[in-house]
A = this chain, B = another copy of it.
Amino acid sequence: MDLHPPHLLFLGDVVNPLDAKTAMGVFDWRPEQCVGQFRLPGCTVDLGLPDLTPRAAFERGARSLLVGVAPLGGALAPSWVDSIRLALESGLSVVSGLHLRLCEVPALRTLAAATGAMLIDVRVPPARLSVASGRKRTGKRLLTVGTDCCVGKKYTALAMTRALTEGGVDATFRATGQTGIMIAGSGIPVDAIVADFLSGACEQLTPDAVENHWDVIEGQGSLFHPAYAAVTLGLVHGSQPDAMILCHDPSRVTIDEFDDFGIPDLVTCIRRYETGARLTNPAARVVGVSLMTGHLDDRESGAVCAETGRQTGLPCFDPLRHSLDAVLSALMS
């Protein structure tokens, strides 16, 4: 998939950094593809990139505006349409992972056709979908799973892919969400698949491979999320993971934006994921716990990881600040 890099990252008028996770993810993992940020009045999120208009970004070499904001539900805010028009008029293509497809907005399609720029929607299911077969595939699979949304599943999968590759293990990152697809340049947006075909799409995402190859699959949602648990279970079943890493934000006690829903203790979470995954892979096991500890200093971060390691009996780490050696050993054992 050609996403027309380098990008100008569109942040809209968001104030919650969690809503800008697409822009942050692309900037963290593909910084060489990011020219600047484009923010509307009221936006309080700042990536530290130069603030540029679409015209200025084009002059600095940008070839696309990447919609870097992912509000709940994925709808396109009316106030953003003008920004997208401005980008198209400035010669930039527009890359979007919103549920609403830009190429289905007639005014934008007309404008893109007139300017020669492209509307690139990454949240589009594959044209041919099948019902899952449940057939065990060759090769190895690692899936990141979570206690909630936005707890480091994508970052952990990317960090594990990098660590495996650096260690000489053949590994492929498999993207399942809009940001992951923008980082990897390919993948399947599992949350946009019609429910009957969800597990089948996940089987298609990680086909047969040679026996010592690892697919490292980006997890989605959480089994404990009242809106998205179905997406998570379909991904768990279709992935047939040999191994899982449980991702968690230790500062969170309830599901984000769903305050009535508490997050179970991690030992319960591990047991529930293993029970779910063993339907399609009886050998499935959780091999480590990944914690987001960005809000803690080094001493506190080390302490919470050590304590979580004792509670769960598993290697526990923050992939952005600690070594992955222990979890890699557990994965390979």
Residues on A facing B (Cβ under 8 Å): 72-74, 99, 130-134, 190-196, 198-200, 224, 226-231, 233-234, 237, 258, 260-261, 272, 275, 279-280
Supplied contacts A132-B227, A134-B227, A199-B227, 13 more A-B pairs, CB within 8 Å:
A73-B131, A74-B196, A99-B194, A131-B227, A131-B228, A191-B194, A198-B231, A199-B226, A199-B228, A229-B234, A229-B237, A229-B279, A230-B234
User: Complex: how many Å from CA A173 to CA B119?
Assistant: 44
Q: How many copies does the complex hold?
A: 2
Q: CA of A74 to CA of B224 in the docked complex: distance in angstroms? A: 31
CB-CB under 8 A from A280, the residues of chain B are 226
Q: List 18 A-B contacts (CB under 8 A).
A: A73-B130, A73-B131, A131-B227, A132-B227, A134-B227, A134-B261, A191-B195, A192-B194, A195-B198, A195-B230, A196-B228, A198-B231, A199-B226, A200-B227, A226-B237, A230-B230, A230-B231, A230-B237
Contacts A194-B191, A279-B261 given; indicate if A233 touches B229 (C-beta within 8 A): yes
How far, in whole Å, are A130 and B230 apart by their CA atoms in the complex?
A: 15
Interface centre among A192, A194, A224, A258 (most CB of B within 10 A): A194
**B227, A230: Cβ atoms under 8 Å?**
no
